[in-house]
Amino acid sequence: MSAPRTAWRSIACLLALTSGTTQAESALDGATLFKLACQACHALGPDTSRRIGPRLDGIAGRPTGTATDYPYSEALKRSGLVWNRSTLIAWIAGAERIVPGTLMVHHNHLEAPEVLRLADYLTEPEREP
Amino acid sequence: MIEARQRVGGRLRTLGEAPLHSEAGANLIGPNYGRILATASRLRVALQPPPASLPTDYSLRGRTILRSEWPSSQDNPLPAALRQISPERLWSSLLEPNPLATASDWCSPELAATDISVMDFLRRNEVPEPAIALLESNLSYGESLSTTSLLSMFRVRQGIARATAFRQPALEVRGGNQRLPEAMAASLSSPVELGNRVVGIRTSKDRVSAELMSGAVIDADAVLITLPAPALRNLRFSPDLPEDQQEAIQTVRYQRVTQMHYRVDAPFWETTGHSGGWWTDGPLGRIFVRPVQAGGPYLLTVWITGSACAETDAMEDEATASLIDRRLRQLMPEAADSLQPMGLVRWQHEPLNGGAWAIWRPGETSAMFRALHQPQDRIFFAGEHTAYAHSGMEGAMESAERACLELARRFA
């Protein structure tokens, strides 16, 4: 098993275990969380403006680093990961730990249940392009 | 939105009018400044790659060393193994290996115990004294090597590496970087109230009130404070902020930066074979020169940092400008009457800033950093000093994103 796969599974499991343990669980839904935590760098849906990061439409099931017309890091292109709920959870929680060398400079400020909710939102069928 | 100054932008400050403008505050938009780039795009603020700064020569202990002669110069103090490395590049050679795996590891509690001073790190690595002496000159992220957090310097080096990895040019705002916050302010549904200084924050069960110097009071559901810590020290909070937060606000230091800006019409340095820019170990610090457009005119900025500012910090503006001017002409006698002063800026003298950016001493990057921005009921904090992954203007935007998330949670 490669190092990135081990890392994302560990983080995803940790988040799943802690998902119900925060003191006052945030009521923010996935769309709001996307707007607050992702939208500055990623576009989705009808928003056609360019961002520094790739578009996130139809991300579920896509191998990492394969959206067209985006200059991904070699690290992400070679990670061998596929975007799904688990990998997205791990990525949001700590992108650079999952794929060292990624260009995404990020610190996660979301609480564990929010990460899960955001991952659910991004992988909903409605997010298909 | 309330702004104490008569302008918006804070430490985004452009001197002069385009195209002859000089940046006294944030200079460059890194290629990985996603939030800044998106905001500029949304507001149709034009960006452009800045003209490249001219190369630098060196002045050490008053002796000039041309850039091309640095490796072989008798005045190069470095031992054989380091002689090829110019002073401004020593950091990238000597601050290795960088242990930070992520952009916010510098402030992680797990690494806090490893935070020593940069000086201790250099000594442990047996870095030669002449190299340490050069590193001690022109510090941008501390007052001295002995009082600068190693993790904070690793953060700086990591930030540079991350931006370089993008393989895209840095950018600036056409017409001056201050045009970006001006466009942001203009896009608001209600205008920013300029010249309105907040002196107190009072929180009750269901409201928060901002007390203004004018005596007026503004009630709101919540307040988001983006003041740098030195300005925060002047606010009265009722009830008091928690002790650890008060202590953090009182303790965090800000980088002293003294700048003297000039316009230069003709490249006088070419008459003597100099490069234009300078790196000195003396009181002038560094001198940056960049063309406004090919062939000139040029903008020249004397950039003095950290403890080197101490000599003039107690002096009046006029005396400070005069002293810098005199020393500049001693270094570059060929300048003659070519230097046209545009302004003196001393960020440490700005009461609303207290310095150019937050700097960290050993042991301050974890608990103290986090205490600075802990929300208190209806009070929220943002600003570059509270940013985890980025620094500078992108750090300010990142911190606003975090604060908005906290606000949304509080009122959802």
Q: Higher confidence at residue A4 or residue B341?
A: B341
**Most A CBs within 10 Å: which of B33, B41, B102, B370, as the mutation test of the A interface?**
B102
The per-residue pLDDT for range B148-183, each reduced to its tens digit, is: 999 999 999 999 999 999 999 999 999 999 999 999
Percentage of residues in chain B having pLDDT higher than 70: 100
Q: Which of A71, A97, A106 sits opposite B389 (nearest CB)?
A: A106
Judge whether residue A5 has pLDDT over 90.
no
Structure tokens at B94: 């000597």
Residue B360: name the closest of B406, B391, B394 by CA: B391
Please give the order of strands across the beta sheet that includes B286-291.
B63-65, B56-60, B277-280, B286-291, B298-305, B257-264, B339-346
Residue B393: name the closest of B403, B383, B401 by CA: B383
Enumerate residues 74 to 93 of chain A having a beta carbon within 8 A of any beta carbon in chain B: none
Judge whether residue B116 has pLDDT over 70.
yes
E strands present in B32-171: 47-48, 56-60, 63-65
Q: Which of B37, B101, B402 sits opposite A96 (nearest CB)?
A: B101
Give burial (CB, 10 Å; 0-12/13-18/19+) of B166. middle
- What is the rounded CA–CA span in Å between residue B169 and residue B50? 9
Mean pLDDT of the residues in chain B: 96
- What is the rounded CA–CA span in Å between residue B175 and residue B88? 29
Of the pLDDT bands very low, low, confident and very high (cuts 50, 70, 90), residue B345 is very high
Instruction: Answer whether A107 sits within 8 Å of B398, measured CB to CB.
Output: yes
Structure tokens at A113: 């249940």
- What is the rounded CA–CA span in Å between residue A105 and residue A52? 11
The per-residue pLDDT for range A80-97, each reduced to its tens digit, is: 999 999 999 999 999 999
- Residue A27 near chain B (CB below 8 Å): yes
Total-model pTM: 0.94
The DSSP element (H or E) to which B256 belongs, if any, is none
Judge whether residue B237 has pLDDT over 70.
yes
**Most B CBs within 10 Å: which of A11, A109, A115, A118, as the mutation test of the B interface?**
A109
Of the pLDDT bands very low, low, confident and very high (cuts 50, 70, 90), residue B412 is confident
The per-residue pLDDT for range A13-69, each reduced to its tens digit, is: 445 444 443 445 679 999 999 999 999 999 998 888 889 999 999 999 999 999 878
